[in-house]
A and B are shown apart, each in its own frame.
Chain A
Amino acid sequence: MTVTAPVARKRSALTKGQLPAFAPYVVLAVALVLGAAILALIGFNAFGWGLVSAILFAIGLVGWSALVEGGRKASDKLATCLVVGSFLVALLPLISVIWTVLVNGIPGLVTPGFLTTSMNGVTGSLDNKSVDEGTKVLGGIYHALLGTVQITLLATVISVPVGLLTAIYLVEYGNDRALARAITFFVDVMTGIPSIVAGLFAAAFFFALVGPGTKTGAVAAVALSVLMIPVVVRSSEEMLKIVPNELREAAYALGVRKWRTIIKVVIPTAISGIASGVTLAIARVIGETAPILVTAGFATTINNNVFGGWMASLPTFIYTQILNPTSPSNPDPSSQRAWGAALVLIILVMLLNLVARLVARLFAPKAGR
């Protein structure tokens, strides 16, 4: 019997026919240069450069791969190019929005008094003066911030009990009865209601209830609740559904009543998901403009009473500042304030999303040892 010596080989046969690791970078560099050259012929712009380079990169990499590695790897590379490309396309608007708002909003935000003063007494002549003499832009968003917080808070106070109790009925008591199916259907319909319709509904409702022309923060809160309730129902329902039935049965087997089981076992188990769902629902309605415009009007002064008088909010503040600048001849100070308010609104929504994640983590059942 002969002992065969191990075959000495420089490159493994198993890694034969592969592109080198630096291949994508080479193709990218070539694509960028070629793209710039092509764009130079027809007039250079950054967007076109990116687009042409991306197409060249995909063609180059997939073509090279097809030559060296064969069809399977080439289609894999094509799919990767498409996935990454779509991801970038989806990301572009987001980054672009954040960038634009940051660039335009920061001057407004850093103006002293922007967060602590209202628009009370800020007139066109003051804006003209600040433009002519280069002094700081007066006026701020305190009243609008206050209004947004109050209206959203009241909307949450209305929506969460209604939405959560509806979800509890659907999951725990509905048993696929006709009523449960009807509720599910109408909740789905409510999800698609245009926000202006919700605003008109709340306005008409208070028109009939209180009197014509009733515009307060509370009316706006009712309008926002109409938009919020279906979101809360849907997210809470999903969260309650994923609570394992075994936990309910475990509680029943200990002689615990159904409603106590729901309150003490089912809801605590699902609370992290419910809380983050509610926070996301708030984030969803905090930027609504149309329903607030027709229900709370717009104010330039601080209104601490959500149940009386017109009330400003951040979205309507932005809307009115852009559409009807305080000084029609010099709209720049108004647009600076509007962008500042937009930045604050985006920061609020981002904070709410962070809070949702934090809440989900804080309340999540722990599995430590």
Chain B
Amino acid sequence: MSKRIDVKDLNVYYGSFLAVEGVNINIEAKSVTAFIGPSGCGKSTFLRTLNRMHEVIPGARVEGEVLLDGDNLYGPGVDPVAVRTQVGMVFQRPNPFPTMSIRDNVLAGVKLNNKRISKGAADTLVEKSLRGANLWNEVKDRLDKPGSGLSGGQQQRLCIARAIAVEPQVILMDEPCSALDPISTLAVEDLINELKDEYTVVIVTHNMQQAARVSDRTAFFNIAGTGKPGKLIEFADTTTIFNNPSQKATEDYVSGRFG
């Protein structure tokens, strides 16, 4: 269960401000794709257009096409809620629901939508999702405790478990490790490696080593200057981007000459 994403001529706006311009990218199913680039170049903004979270912000809109296995996410009559059940998202800061227990957090996607689920099926889903997020052994004895009592790294893995519990086709991760210590980061990176067996994973990261470690393909975004739109500069295999990039800007960025 994973789908590919093809983006055609995508322009992303905040009101009248063009934030990201002319993106064309093909993201393979069952692969890890990393977005890298300096701050403010529009990687996160672009990521949020892939599950229609961008339009949650007032005034935000999009021109162009995002195809999920050929179906345009921005076609007329497409329900953004249906899109988001297929394309899950993990955010920069761990955000478990503070009113819910660990168990309820994992089941949030099911329970918040009032889907009926038997207790046995719920238990199976909780264990499967938490095992999938490498968190089961740490929390199996305290599933009824609040999720906000976990450490930052555990909370982030809980959020990943919550995202995979709704069985999406694609998982988007917006700098999932930027608030975590190196050990938790390692746990999440191991997890990403396992996730790509079943899901299409797209990850935004500021950490180039992380992009090199976890991703199969890497996209480099850049911005010409303040107030200018961000652009996709280069998209290729990760080894190519880091060892033999075709663009000068990419080489400068990955070798640490700017950004």
Q: Which residues of A contact B (CB under 8 A)?
A: 175-176, 244, 246-257, 260-261, 264-265, 268-269, 365-369
Known contacts A175-B58, A247-B95, A261-B112; is A255 also within 8 Å of B149 by CB? no
The 6 A-B residue pairs whose C-beta atoms are closest, nearest first, are A255-B85, A365-B98, A253-B89, A254-B109, A369-B149, A246-B95
Chain B residues within 8 Å of A268, by CB: 99
B136-168, CB < 8 A from A: 142, 145-146, 148-150, 159, 162-163, 166
Distance, CA A247 to CA B96, complexed state (A): 8
Pick the residue among B58, B82, B142, B163 that contacts A254 (CB under 8 A): B163
Contact residue range for chain B?
20 to 34
* B31 in the interface (beta carbon within 8 A): no
Does the CB pair B88–A253 fall under 8 Å?
Answer: yes
Q: Does B114 contact A (CB under 8 A)?
A: yes
Chain B residues in 8 Å Cβ range of A246:
91, 93, 95
CB A272 to nearest CB in B, in angstroms, measures 10
- Report the bound CA distance from A254 to B85 in whole Å: 6
Q: A368 is contacted by which of B95, B111, B149, B162 (Cβ under 8 Å)? A: B149
Given contacts A246-B93, A256-B109, 4 further A-B pairs with CB under 8 A are A250-B159, A254-B88, A254-B109, A260-B114
Binary per-residue interface labels of chain B (52-63) against chain A in the complex, 1 for a CB within 8 Å, 0 otherwise: 010010100000
Question: Does B112 lie within 8 Å of A265, measured CB to CB?
Answer: yes
B contact residues vs A (CB 8 Å cutoff): 51, 53, 56, 58, 81-82, 84-86, 88-89, 91, 93, 95-99, 108-109, 111-114, 142, 145-146, 148-150, 159, 162-163, 166
User: Which residues of chain B have C-beta atoms less than 8 A from A250's C-beta?
Assistant: 91, 95-97, 159, 162
The answer to whether B112 touches A256 (Cβ under 8 A) is yes
Q: Considering residues B58, B89, B95, B149, which has the most beta carbons from chain A within 10 angstroms of its beta carbon?
A: B95
A25 to B203, CA, bound (A): 66
> Chain B: which residue is nearest A260 at the CB level?
B112
Given A249-B53, A250-B91, A268-B99, verify A365-B85 contact (CB < 8 Å). Answer: no
A252 near B98 with CB under 8 A, answer no
What residues on B are CB-neighbors of A176 within 8 Å? 58
C-alpha spacing A265/B56, complex, angstroms: 16
B159:A252 contact, CB within 8 angstroms: no
In the assembled complex, the CB of B211 is this many whole angstroms from the nearest CB of chain A, namely 22
Please, which residue of chain B has its CB at the minimum distance from the CB of A243? B98
Q: List 25 A-B contacts (CB under 8 A).
A: A244-B95, A246-B91, A246-B93, A247-B97, A250-B162, A251-B97, A252-B84, A254-B109, A254-B112, A254-B166, A255-B81, A255-B82, A255-B86, A255-B113, A255-B166, A256-B81, A256-B113, A260-B112, A365-B99, A366-B149, A367-B98, A367-B149, A368-B149, A369-B149, A369-B150
Are B112 and A264 within 8 A (Cβ)?
yes
B99: which A residues are within 8 A, CB to CB?
Answer: 265, 268-269, 365
CA of A176 to CA of B148, assembled, Å: 32
Beta-carbon contact of B109 and A255 below 8 Å: yes
Partner of A366, one of B53, B114, B146: B146
Q: Within the assembled complex, what's the spacing in Å between the Cα atoms of A269 and B108? A: 14
Which B residues are CB-close (under 8 A) to A257?
Answer: 81, 113
Distance between Cα atoms of A268 and B93 in the complex (Å)? 21
A270 CB to nearest chain B CB (Å): 10
* Residues of A contacting B97 in the complex (Cβ-Cβ under 8 angstroms): 247, 250-251, 265, 269
Contact check, B53 vs A253: say whether CB atoms are below 8 A apart.
yes
What's the least CB distance linking A195 to chain B, in Å? 36
The distance in angstroms between the C-alpha atoms of A257 and B82, with both chains bound, is: 9
Measured CB to CB, the nearest residue on chain A to B58 is A175
Min CB distance, B15 to chain A, in Å? 12
Nearest-Cβ distance from residue A192 to partner chain B, whole angstroms: 30
The 8 Å CB contact of A367, one of B82, B85, B114, B146, is B146
Instruction: Give bound CA distance, A285 to B81, whole Å.
Output: 43
**Distance in angstroms between the alpha carbons of A277 and B149 in the assembled complex:** 27
Contacts of B111 in A (CB 8 A): 264
Q: How far is the CA of A264 from the CA of B142 in the complex (A)?
A: 23
Cβ–Cβ < 8 Å partners of B91 in chain A: 246, 249-250, 253
Q: Within 8 Å CB of A367, what residues of B?
A: 98, 146, 148-149
**A365 to B149, alpha carbons, bound, how many Å?**
11
Given known contacts A175-B58, A260-B113, A255 and B84 CB-to-CB distance under 8 angstroms: yes
Q: Return A116 CB to nearest CB of chain B, in Å.
A: 42
A62 CB to closest chain B CB (Å) equals 48
